[in-house]
Amino acid sequence: MQVLLSTGLPIIPRDDDDCEAFDSDFPAGSVVDSDADSSNVHFIAISPKGSFTTGNGALELKLQKPDGDVTAKDGINDKVGVGATINATKPIRHGKVTFVAETPKVAGVVSAMILIGSDSQDEIDIEILGGDIDHWQTNFFATPPGSEPIFGKFGDTHGYNDSDASSTHTYVIDWNQDRISWSVDGDEVRSVQKSELPTICMPCLDKTITENSTNGGQTYYPTHKMGMQMGIWDASGEADSASWTKGPIDWKNAPDNIKTLIHSVKVECGVVQ
């Protein structure tokens, strides 16, 4: 049996364990702590207890101010806050993930909704910087043999039709074996076709990108199972990340608990044909 996406394209349901379709508005108890039994829930926290709450129609991700005074020097803070990280308990290999979220206006903070490999370096990202709430960022990584992920090559930045990231928006990652697409509020903003991506020279260890590799090249595209992850983190402890996020965090003026709200998540499994 085929079901149709809103695009009218058929989805072929998967019969394996690579994806479990569900949706959640995070009722109480829908996320458990890392030391709890997660066999009957969709989400588990890998951050400390108290870093998140559920119920009242949202998952609240908290970034807590460090204990004691925080000193900024040379563009970084001497202490970083502890943020929430929540993982899904089931992997995904191809599917559509929809996040409804609102994120904070605090420079130095990153709110992330991503797919990330547990046994690979594959990754597909949505990241929202508290210091640039008029935009949101997309990125992806893959795992070429004999090399680390390639940074700074496959990211992009997108705007909103109205309002900014502190308002509630609907973000989508749609991934299959041929392409990745990202959308916000029903509008596709980016589509990456596997057939148009460069190949990586597998014998090379210097992360060389070649457009037409003849050395046994592998297309730089995520192919492994990945897990959904949602989080909020403090980018103030390292110069490059602090600069990227327009940080570091000014804790003298920021709330002691900075919050990202995930109102709902929906996972749809399948491969667009």
Instruction: Please return the burial class of 205, using the count of CB atoms within 10 Å of its CB with bins 0-12, 13-18 and 19+.
Output: exposed
Q: What is the pLDDT confidence band of residue 219, given thresholds at 50, 70 and 90?
A: confident
pLDDT level of residue 145 (50, 70, 90 thresholds): low
How many domains does the structure of the chain reveal?
1
Residue 203 lies in a domain: yes
Q: Is residue 16 situated within a structural domain?
A: no
- Indicate whether 195 belongs to any domain: yes
For the cut 70, the answer to whether the pLDDT of residue 273 exceeds it is no
Q: Please give the pLDDT value at position 1.
A: 30
Q: What is the mean pLDDT of residues 246-264?
A: 98
Residue 9 falls inside a structural domain: no
Average pLDDT, the chain: 88
117 domain-assigned? yes
The answer, yes or no, to whether residue 207 has pLDDT greater than 80, is no
Angle value at C-alpha 33, between 31 and 39, nearest 5 degrees:
65
The reply to whether 10 falls in a domain is no
Q: Of 10 and 220, which is predicted with more confidence?
A: 220
pLDDT digits (tens, 9 = 90+) for 27-68: 999 999 999 999 999 999 999 999 999 999 999 999 999 999
Q: What is the pLDDT averaged over residues 118-144?
A: 94
Give the DSSP H/E element, type plus range, for residue 5: none
Helix (H), strand (E), coil (C) string for 208-272: CEECCCCCCCEECCCCCCEEEEEEEEECCCCHHHHHHCCCCCCCCCCCCEEEEEEEEEEEEECEE
Question: pTM score > 0.75 for this model?
Answer: yes
Is 5 inside any structural domain? Answer: no
Structure tokens at 185: 């509020």
Question: Contact, 189 vs 113, CB < 8 A?
Answer: no
CATH of the domain at 106: 2.60.120.200
Instruction: In whole angstroms, give the CA distance from residue 271 to residue 273.
Output: 6
Q: In angstroms, what is the C-alpha Rg of the chain?
A: 19
User: How far is residue 239's CA from residue 99's CA, in Å, rounded to a whole number?
Assistant: 30
Q: The domain containing residue 250 runs over which residues?
A: 21-68+75-272
Domain for residue 11, yes or no?
no
